[in-house]
A and B are shown apart, each in its own frame.
Chain A
Amino acid sequence: MLTSARIESLKRYWKSLKFAFYCATHPLDGYWDLTHEKRGTYAAANTILILTILSRILKLQHTSFVIDPIYWPDINIFLYIASILFPLGLWVLGNWALTTLFDGKGRLGQVYMATCYCMLPYPMVQIPLIFLSNVVTKEERQFYDVMGWISMIWVIFWIILAMQQIHEFSVGKNFLFTIGSLFAMLVIIFILLLFFSMISQGVAYFISVGKELLYRMS
């Protein structure tokens, strides 16, 4: 049943989703309002993330082979999806962990929300590009490449701007912490690797102890 509260929340969701388009064209204004005026919602952020992943999968499947020949035996769809989610998670975690120590005003959820909002240009550009790829020849692929690069640069640049607004940083400080976040990502990867290798060794130890016991008893 559509209660009035439900309709209200749906309206808010729709408005916050439309607000993403505003952010794509007015980054400074938009990302300030996103958290400070509470014009963004997690639901919209998740939607944009899903859209991004979807557009990436569509791109894999439907881009012309002239542009992007794919060796299907090597494709693992879960790894492919993780290739967005994993860097995103690392970025959000790394950025938050670092900025929260240095007067960053953004909370973990807000960093996530803003980053997701920043990814809107990717599906916005890439989905039309899928159609374009099927009507260009090899000689005309420069058009495609340029558009693709624009979408990537757009996203990356917007993420940097968004972080500045969310954490209320100055330009210089924001730049510094962008670099710092990248290092934080590396540190997280290192710790993860360390963690996994230690866990696996620990598990192997207990398995071998168990085996030894079984041999003794039999």
Chain B
Amino acid sequence: MKNICAKKLIKRISAFAASMVLLLGSSLVAHADAKYTYCYDYWGDVQDSPDAYEVIDVFDVLDLGLPELVDKVMGNVEVIEEVEEGEEGEEGEEETEEEEASEEENSEEGGSEGGEEGSEGGDSEGGEEGSEEGSTSGRKNQKADLRSKSISNTAASITVNGNFIYLCDSGNNRIIKIQRINREQFKAVDIFWKIGGNVKKNTFENPTDIQFDEDGNIYVADNGNERVVKMDSNWNYIMEFVKPNDSTMENVQDFLPNKIVVDTAGRIYCIADNVNDGLLKYEADGVFAGYVGATPVVYNFWDYVQKRFATQAQREKLVSFVPTEYSNIYMDHDGFIYACACNLKEEDLKSGSANAVRRLNLMGNDILIKNGNYPPYGDIYMGNGGPSQIVDVTAFDNDAYAMIDRRRGRIFVYDDQGRMLFAFGGKGNMKGYFKDGTISLSLDHMGYDLIAMDSSNASITVFTPTEYGNLIYTAMDQFDAGLYSESGETWQKIMDINGNYDLAYIGVGRALLRQEKYKEAMEYFELKYDDDNYSKAFKQYRKEWVEKHILAIFIVAFAVLIVPMIIGKIGKIKYEIDTADIFKF
């Protein structure tokens, strides 16, 4: 009887324990799925990471104070609108603040979405619908409105210059200047839509990018006007770069400069739509100087074979082997150009025949260091969605770089060796996530703060490194500055926060290696399978070991090689003596 009771008790306890394990286990798994920041280990397994970046805030049009600014700047300015119908243009001129509200009801031609949007709180979608009905012609499907109180959802890019962010509001043909007042405050301070000085076409049409050179001159990729305009710091016209008179451009109808960078000598490099020969390079005087950094043509063996045996008609239907266009460019502080490309194939990225990001020198050669376990192409596991679509890249001053993925709304940060530091983000409606179905994302940085613009709701998200993220950057900077033991200590702190972080171990190891503690360094490298650094440390360790034990090595070699030889020799002599005739009596 007692025995049965004990058995029951044991059963109950074990059942309870099993259910607890199940419960705890499931809750743990659910928790792990929700992680925001992650990185990959040597094997490509996803390792959760503490958040390296946190969101300061997401700034939309109202937060930036754009409606008030539009009233202030545009209210008493005569806007010469470039529309076909004269009537609309007049309307636009007559518009005042009070009238806007009343016009809202009766005018559906799209002349005044500005007011409507302002009242809706910066939601640009309603405005877009109205404008689509209203616009009758033109290459854009959205009617431009310089007085719009929101940002068009085709807003193309942001560029950071000092303390200011310049936002190209492409759809509204204007550029908005945003000031960072302090860490947590951003305000729109100015709107540019007009070029001063003596120039025939003194407005922008679909400006897609803005850059600055060292003298403060401004360059704008004026996509719709088929030019890149150079202006002085007061927006007065200096010169423009136009469609090159080159044989390669003959079959390109429109010259559509999209993204530009300017180097210290005033040369510009430009991505033009539908041009896949590389970046267009212009000398400072506006002369076209050829293409730079075309991506190598990628095709696999079977495509090639298929093409060889295809008939002419079949061949035309097959995809032609053309280099991919770059999606964006960024010039780092050394004058090297980071160029990223999206729409690459998974197998090409994995085999290394296509690069999601390249770092081009002046000759157009890729000099990006890829010492990571995986090439820098964003997510390793792509699933059904396909590879990350890298639409923008920005490089910090320590040669680490960040890139943003349109497909999954993630930001990937790599160090100067091409190893992924961390990745974070996703698609969603929370802070720090990007809208699903976004057309374009734009990324730039202010110090180590990352500034990302989501074009679908024209909001600017400002990320700042957390304590953890700051430690990583500090450790890297200390290493670069030659403060190896300090760097090692910082990496150790990072390791205490995130014990699954490969780079922390490797960082400690590298610091030890520089301090000539080879044996300890080897242990750290071995833990995280860093064979390159391990080999470096081991080479030194081996050298030291051989130097230290040179005598022992000689003795052992002597014992192993020479002694048996001598013994053999003695034996032979002995044998000869024993068998020699003269000793035989």
Contact = CB atoms under 8 A, between A and B. Distances in A.
B534 interface: yes
A65 B531 contact: yes
Given A65-B531, A66-B531, A137 B526 contact: no
A138 B532 contact: yes
B43 interface: yes
A98 to B, nearest CB: 35
Contacts of A69: 42, 529, 531
A208 B172 CA distance: 70
A135 interface: yes
Interface in B521-570: 526, 529, 531-532, 534-536, 538-539, 542
A137 B539 contact: yes
B529 A137 contact: no
Interface in A127-171: 135, 137-139
Interface in B38-67: 42-43
A78 interface: no
A71 B43 contact: yes
A183 B518 CA distance: 52
Interface string B90-125: 000000000000000000000000000000000000
Contacts of A65: 526, 529, 531, 534
A62 to B, nearest CB: 13
A138 B531 contact: yes
A137 B531 CA distance: 8
A66 B542 contact: no
Contacts of A137: 535-536, 538-539, 542
Contacts of B42: 69
A66 B536 CA distance: 11
Nearest to B526: A65
Which of B43, B531, B532, B542 counts the most A-chain CB atoms under 10 A from its CB?
Answer: B531
B41 to A, nearest CB: 11
Given A65-B526, A69-B42, A71-B43, A139 B535 contact: yes
A65 B535 CA distance: 11
A132 to B, nearest CB: 13
A69 B43 CA distance: 10
Nearest to B44: A71
Interface string B486-511: 00000000000000000000000000
Contacts of B538: 66, 137
Contacts of B526: 65
A135 B531 CA distance: 13
Contacts of B531: 65-66, 69, 138
Contacts of A71: 43
B326 to A, nearest CB: 33
Which of A66, A69, A71, A139 counts the most B-chain CB atoms under 10 A from its CB?
Answer: A66
Contacts of B539: 137
A65 B43 CA distance: 13
Interface in A35-92: 65-66, 69, 71
A138 B535 contact: yes
Interface string B12-43: 00000000000000000000000000000011
A60 to B, nearest CB: 16
Which of A135, A138, A139 counts the most B-chain CB atoms under 10 A from its CB?
Answer: A138
A116 B534 CA distance: 38
B548 to A, nearest CB: 15
Interface string A3-39: 0000000000000000000000000000000000000
A66 B43 contact: no
B542 A135 contact: yes
Nearest to A66: B531
Interface string A169-191: 00000000000000000000000
Nearest to B529: A69
A135 B43 CA distance: 24
A79 to B, nearest CB: 19
Nearest to A138: B535
A169 B539 CA distance: 51
Nearest to A72: B43
A67 to B, nearest CB: 9
A139 B539 CA distance: 10
Contacts of A138: 531-532, 534-535
A159 B531 CA distance: 36
Interface string B239-258: 00000000000000000000
B482 to A, nearest CB: 25
B285 to A, nearest CB: 48
B557 to A, nearest CB: 15
A28 to B, nearest CB: 31
Nearest to B42: A69
A138 B371 CA distance: 14
A183 to B, nearest CB: 27
B118 to A, nearest CB: 58
A66 to B, nearest CB: 4
Contacts of B534: 65-66, 138
Contacts of B542: 135, 137
B54 to A, nearest CB: 33
B543 to A, nearest CB: 11
A69 B532 CA distance: 13
A139 B531 CA distance: 10
A105 to B, nearest CB: 43
A69 B536 CA distance: 17
A135 B553 CA distance: 15
B522 to A, nearest CB: 10
A139 B526 CA distance: 16
Contacts of A135: 542
A74 to B, nearest CB: 9
A182 B534 CA distance: 42
A98 B531 CA distance: 47
Nearest to B527: A65
Nearest to A67: B531
A135 B534 CA distance: 12
Nearest to B537: A137
A139 B542 CA distance: 14
Top-3 shortest CB links A-B? A137-B535, A138-B535, A66-B531
Given A65-B526, A137-B535, A137-B542, 18 more contacts: A65-B529, A65-B534, A66-B531, A66-B534, A66-B535, A66-B538, A69-B42, A69-B529, A69-B531, A71-B43, A135-B542, A137-B536, A137-B538, A137-B539, A138-B531, A138-B532, A138-B535, A139-B535
20 contacts: A65-B526, A65-B529, A65-B531, A65-B534, A66-B531, A66-B534, A66-B535, A66-B538, A69-B42, A69-B529, A69-B531, A71-B43, A137-B535, A137-B536, A137-B538, A137-B542, A138-B531, A138-B534, A138-B535, A139-B535
